[in-house]
Structure 1
Amino acid sequence: MSMMSGGVLLSDLEHDALTEIVNIGVSRAASSLRKMVGEEVLLSVPSIEIMAPQNAARLIGERETDSLVAIQQQFEGAFSGRALLIFPEATSFDLVKAIIGNDVPPEQIVEMEQEALAETGNIILNGCLATMANMLKRSLNISLPEVIRGDGMRLFTDAHESSDEGLVLFLYINFSVRNRDIRGYIAMLMDLPSLSALKELIACFIDRVMGDEA
Structure 2
Amino acid sequence: MFNLTDLQHDALVEIFNIGVGHAAGAMSEIVNEEVTMSVPSISFLNRTEAAALLCNGEQRRVCGVSQRYEGAFTTEAILMFPEEKSLDIVRLMVGDAIALTELSEMEQEAMSEIGNIILNSCVGTLANIFSQELCGSLPRYHVGTSDDILAATGTAVDTVVLMLHIDFILEKHQIHGYVAFVLDLSALNDLQEQVDRYLAKITGGA
State the TM-score bracket (shorter-chain normalisation). Answer: over 0.9
Cα deviation for residue 108 of structure 1 reads 1.4
Partner of 2:199: 206
In the alignment, does 2:178 pair up with 1:185?
yes
TM-score, length basis structure 2: 0.94
In the alignment, does 2:80 pair up with 1:86?
yes
In the alignment of these two chains, the number of paired residues is 206
Partner of 1:32: 26
- Asked whether the equivalents of residues 54 and 156 of structure 1 are also in contact (C-alpha less than 8 Å), the reply is no
Partner of 1:173: 166
Partner of 2:151: 157
Q: Which runs of 5+ in 1 are unaligned?
A: none
State the distance in 2 between where 1:82 and 1:180 align.
28
TM-score, length basis structure 1: 0.91
State the distance in 1 between where 2:78 and 2:177 align.
10
Cα–Cα, structure 1 residues 169 and 159, in superposed 2: closer, same or farther, change >3 Å?
Answer: closer
Query: Which stretch shifts more, 112-121 or 54-63?
Result: 54-63
Partner of 2:124: 130
Partner of 2:188: 195
Cα–Cα, structure 1 residues 153 and 161, in superposed 2: closer, same or farther, change >3 Å?
Answer: closer
1:17 to 4, 11, 30: 11
State the distance in 2 between where 1:64 and 1:92 align.
18
Identical residues among aligned pairs (%): 39
Partner of 2:139: 145
State the distance in 2 between where 1:64 and 1:133 align.
36
Cα deviation for residue 16 of structure 1 reads 0.3
RMSD: 1.7
Cα–Cα, structure 1 residues 161 and 47, in superposed 2: closer, same or farther, change >3 Å?
Answer: closer
